[in-house]
Structure 1
Amino acid sequence: MRSRHRSLIALFMTQESTAPSYLRRLGVWDAASIVIGGVIGAGIFRTPSTVAERTSAGWQVLLLWGIGGLLTLAGVLCYAELGARRPQAGGTYVYLREAFGKLPAFLFGWTMALINYPGSVAAVATTFADYFCAALGFPAGFIKPVAVGAIAFIVGINFFGIRAGAWVQNLFTVLKLAAIALLVVVGLILARGHLGGALAADPVHPASAGAFLGALLPVLFAYGGFHYLNDLAGEVREPQRTLPRALSLGMAGVVGSYLLVNFAYLAGLGHAGLAASSAPAADLLRNLMGPSGATLMAVGIACSTFGYCAIAIAGGARVLQTMGKDGMFFSAVGRIDRTSRAPQVALATLGAWAIVLTLSGSFGQLLDYTTVGEWLAHAFGIATLFWYRRHLAQEPSPYRVPFYPVLPLLFVGTVLGVIVVTSIHAPRDAGMSLLIIALGVPAFYGWRWLERQSNG
């Protein structure tokens, strides 16, 4: 009887010590949808105006979007190899931890998972609510409650696991691509056969070489977000094969969409009209369909921004969960639910913090203050590829980035250039971003001291 009791205790302890892990449930389309949804948010519906202001011809606008797409594809191919080498949740956090140690990994999590991710969710959820309320005719007082409700709804859906979250994401990816297709059709109709005018020079907006290079900044920002799939790599089926394919297909779809949309803006509004517009997507549809066109576009942008929030919450929660599992954050955050295999505590933590930022309205400054940190994270994340190639040269890798080391050097060099230009144009924001990163150093050592104290 006593031996049977011991056996039951041993069995119970074994079951308790075997922590649940993520299940690989995402296929190629799910993963590609995450790439598309993580990149295409609200930027493509507003940023083209800024790019047109800093250029002097339609062909320059398209050239910049093409250059930005090629540079981003270089980064995507690097992330494809990193994801294939380490197909687990956490993405850049995992690569930094293995290559450079726990402090750089913690600084990434400190800046991104605790500040940038929830700040992005708060900002984009507010944008979603703004367009949603505009489309339905709700007063401005409904914007914050709708934004909070959207965040809570997304967190609740993700509580049921990655499949439920992927279903929602796939739906909104299709809707945002439909909105882009509508823009392209309307632009071609408004051009009335004079498509060559889309590339023409605009004497009203002569641009210098410096302004032309400065126009690349908003383009690159609009291409950001491709790294979210790597945060979810622990739930991708056959990751060594699926991750490279999904990243490449998804990003190719984004580049194609961006080029087509910008051509539609130029064809329908002209270079001068695009540069003067504060809402080119709405203006394009309004020119053809009247006020109902602007309302329809508001629905499309609401769908696009909602889809982005779903990805940012899911990806950010996986980074938090990995930090908790490593002892770099509260241990409860590192748990994975046995039934849904979702990081429910991490999801609730990220969602709650995003809601606080939404209600306080402070997310705008947080995003400005972490822009440099975000791009530094991309640079250092891809720099880990050099460490893997040197220290694990014999490790089999199912996918290797082509033209190594040219592509990673090109991307890292471009990102560092973006950081320098950003620091020149916005020194206060860049300084605050570096200060936030620096504050992570005492936080790291303080957290480790608390961990040692709690463990005796």
Structure 2
Amino acid sequence: MGAQTPKLKKDITFFTALTIVMGTVIGSGVFFKPEAVFTATGTAGLGLLAWVIGGIITICGGLTAAELSASIPQTGGMVVYLRRAYGPLAGYLMGWAQTIIYFPANIAALSIIFGTQVANLFGTGNWVIIPVAIAAASYVMFMNFLGAKKAGSLQSITTIGKLVPLLLIIVFGLMHNGEVQFSLLPFSPESSPLLTSLGSGLVATMFAYDGWIHVGNIAGEMRNPKKDLPKAIVIGLTSVMAVYLLINIAYLFVMPASLLAATSTPASDVASIIFGAFGGKFVTIGILVSVFGAINGYTMTGIRIPYAMALNNELPFSGLFTKLNKNSIPVNGGILTIAVSVIMIFSGQFNQLTDMLIFVIWLFYIMVFVAVFVMRKREPGLERPYKVPLYPFIPIVAIVGGLYIVFNTLITQPLNSGIGILLTAIGLPIYFYKKKQGVFDGPANENVNKKAA
């Protein structure tokens, strides 16, 4: 055989992992999803309940997936977990969907929002949105090519920076003495059944909570993944839910639920009421910082997926994607990711991209949650530095919540769901071609092959 494949550096600390969890989750959703949540629920109390339940499902999912992250601390995250639990096809489709749909669509959607906010801040026409979006995505990718430390530092700075306007809105919003009377009652909406409204509101929150699991993709570059990874997921998600709940309460202290449902920029509108015209501009800058950090979080974790798959020769031209630059970064995986992202950016469709990626990723999230049961039965002797608390209750909550999200999206968004399924299925011919070459009979699938034998 040839020279050994270069190894990724173990440069990532607990604090960096924590900021990746929080920085990737706290992106555009906290600023844009309150409109959809309160439109669906119709009341303050039901809207807040949707944010709480969404957070609980997410935390249960994080607690569940953390067991796999700690016991299988390898770069590649969910690709590795699914391959180990179900075999090469599941792991391959997860990696393919992440490479072609999930990460590029997230980067593209967030970049479109970034461009939109730049246009709003400077009062330019919409013609600047796509050029600015492409520039932002390309700059973040370039920063990641300079090394995990620099990308991690950028993530830490943007995470801290994005919390400043959020905290200002929370503090001054809760202290606001205006004409709005905050009340959790009436709880039930007048226009639709309570459970239907709550369900629609819950689905709306899930994009705002998404992104937490992808810190597992960088487990191979963490200094102490078995200890730090579960802790980063749990602490990060609990903190995110607290921030989301508090800022929505602050919104409701300043604007009633009916007005929040009527505006696509609740944070800017609330800030303008509290601080005046300058406040709206200030929060728009905060949104730019927040979205920029989210782009970086998805970029940092996403470019490792083609690398992990190529190490097992699972992609066309795998030799290209195993190459690392002088900073130990899988640069060709990054070039593929940014190329697909730019194509998606030209669509200019934020909502369509996010609807599609949420449906696809939750199909695989459910498989990850079920994999905890599979792995405990198949590999009882596997070292598990961390185990899901209250097993099996917490994994069941995560699975049931995930199934609801998938079926609801399939019914309410059939076109976007169909596009996601189609793009995922396109990977099947490549899989079977590689399988015919014997690619999936290698060491990566050793445990699965032993079980089959």
TM over 0.5: yes
**Preserved contact between residue 282 and residue 298 of structure 1 (Cα < 8 Å):** yes
Distance 2:249 2:320 in 1: 45
**Preserved contact between residue 84 and residue 239 of structure 1 (Cα < 8 Å):** yes
Pick the aligned partner of 2:332 from 345, 357, 361: 345
- Offset, 1:357: 2.2
Distance 2:39 2:349 in 1: 28
State the secondary structure of the residue aligned to 1:54.
helix
Q: What are the residue-to-residue correspondences of 1:35-434 with 2, within 5 Å?
A: 35-192=21-178, 197-201=182-186, 206-209=191-194, 210-329=196-315, 330-337=317-324, 339-361=326-348, 365-434=352-421
Pick the aligned partner of 1:436 from 419, 423, 437: 423
- 1:32 and 1:72, CA in 2 relative to 1: closer, same or farther beyond 3 A? same
- Offset, 1:115: 1.5
- 1:234 and 1:195, CA in 2 relative to 1: closer, same or farther beyond 3 A? farther
When normalised by structure 2's length, the TM-score is: 0.91
Which is further off, 212-221 or 233-242? 212-221
**Preserved contact between residue 82 and residue 90 of structure 2 (Cα < 8 Å):** yes
- Offset, 1:204: 8.3
Distance 2:355 2:256 in 1: 31
**Unaligned residue ranges in structure 1 (runs of 5+):** 1-12
Q: Percent identity?
A: 30
Give the letter for the 2:261 counterpart.
A
**Preserved contact between residue 55 and residue 206 of structure 1 (Cα < 8 Å):** no
**Preserved contact between residue 198 and residue 263 of structure 1 (Cα < 8 Å):** no
Give the letter for the 2:146 counterpart.
F
Distance 1:416 1:203 in 2: 24
Distance 1:350 1:213 in 2: 33
Pick the aligned partner of 2:433 from 446, 450, 454: 446
- 1:436 and 1:335, CA in 2 relative to 1: closer, same or farther beyond 3 A? closer
Give the letter for the 2:422 counterpart.
L
Asked if residue 28 in structure 1 is aligned to residue 18 in structure 2, the reply is no
Distance 1:383 1:336 in 2: 33
- 1:225 and 1:348, CA in 2 relative to 1: closer, same or farther beyond 3 A? same
Distance 1:433 1:254 in 2: 28
**Preserved contact between residue 179 and residue 300 of structure 1 (Cα < 8 Å):** yes
Distance 1:203 1:99 in 2: 43
**Any idea what the Cα deviations from partners look like across 1:409-450, whole Å, max 9, x if unmatched?**
211121111111111212232233333333322231134457
Distance 2:161 2:304 in 1: 26
Structure whose alpha-carbon radius of gyration is higher: 1
Distance 1:184 1:275 in 2: 19
Give the letter for the 2:271 counterpart.
L
Which is further off, 128-137 or 147-156? 128-137
Give the letter for the 1:275 counterpart.
A
**Any idea what the Cα deviations from partners look like across 1:398-418, whole Å, max 9, x if unmatched?**
100101111112111211111
For the aligned residues, what is the CA RMSD?
2.2
State the secondary structure of the residue aligned to 1:141.
helix
State the secondary structure of the residue aligned to 1:266.
helix
State the secondary structure of the residue aligned to 1:190.
coil
**Equivalenced residues, count:** 437
Distance 2:81 2:275 in 1: 49
- 1:438 and 1:211, CA in 2 relative to 1: closer, same or farther beyond 3 A? same
- 1:202 and 1:285, CA in 2 relative to 1: closer, same or farther beyond 3 A? farther
- Offset, 1:360: 4.6
- 1:198 and 1:155, CA in 2 relative to 1: closer, same or farther beyond 3 A? same
**Unaligned residue ranges in structure 2 (runs of 5+):** 440-453
- Offset, 1:336: 4.4
